[in-house]
A and B are shown apart, each in its own frame.
Chain A
Amino acid sequence: GAVVSQHPSWVICKSGTSVKIECRSLDFQATTMFWYRQFPKQSLMLMATSNEGSKATYEQGVEKDKFLINHASLTLSTLTVTSAHPEDSSFYICSASNNLLRDTEAFFGQGTRLTVV
């Protein structure tokens, strides 16, 4: 299957600072990337969908000014958690696709464990 690389795999930051997480599709062009958040022992919660070259579409309840998403190229999307607080500590996972998910598989990155202290 296709390879999606997420970096870093874990990060610890101080409260009030910003953290950037990268998601790269290594062997295909990702027209759409998805960002999820996962709490312990729970399933994935979609935060936003981004299409290359356009603004991300955020799910209800997700603060777009707090979770900045940039999808500037067909192989790279970034999620920046701005002014992070301890409640933002979570596991963040990206997914990439080169077509609508009704027509193709979804491929996921390895996830990023964010701890805000």
Chain B
Amino acid sequence: KQEVTQIPAALSVPEGENLVLNCSFTDSAIYNLQWFRQDPGKGLTSLLLIQSSQREQTSGRLNASLDKSSGRSTLYIAASQPGDSATYLCATPGAAGNKLTFGGGTRVLVKP
């Protein structure tokens, strides 16, 4: 059974610093991995989807890498801003490809 872990659970950085968020998974036979952002009391916003055949995906200040052999994905956010404060979740579909398994999330605070 796939297990997804995000460490640390919380992170605080000063504005302008680069953010590095980690996601690890136990079963390397994944189809894809998706990163989400969740603001307090809100739903999830999809940030990036990396297919299993890809090593990284980029969107603006966001870059996500995927290393299936080590069971890890990393989300980099360059030049963080207070507006980046949120909880970031990673998730990957299970073996049947029809249900997402989520990590516990990393709560990020960017201080002005």
Contact = CB atoms under 8 A, between A and B. Distances in A.
Interface of A: 1, 4, 6, 32, 34, 41-44, 46, 49, 91, 93, 95, 100-103, 105-111, 113
Query: Which among B31, B41, B43, B89 has the highest number of chain A CB atoms within 10 Å?
Result: B43
B2 interface: no
Interface of B: 31-32, 34, 36, 41-46, 49, 89, 91, 93, 97-100, 102-105, 107
Contacts of B41: 91, 111, 113
B98 A100 contact: yes
B99 A6 contact: no
Given A43-B103, A111-B41, A105 B98 contact: no
20 contacts: A1-B46, A6-B43, A34-B100, A41-B107, A43-B105, A93-B43, A95-B44, A100-B97, A101-B97, A101-B98, A102-B31, A102-B93, A102-B98, A103-B31, A103-B97, A106-B46, A107-B46, A109-B43, A110-B42, A111-B41
B91 to A, nearest CB: 8
Contacts of A95: 44, 100
A102 B32 contact: yes
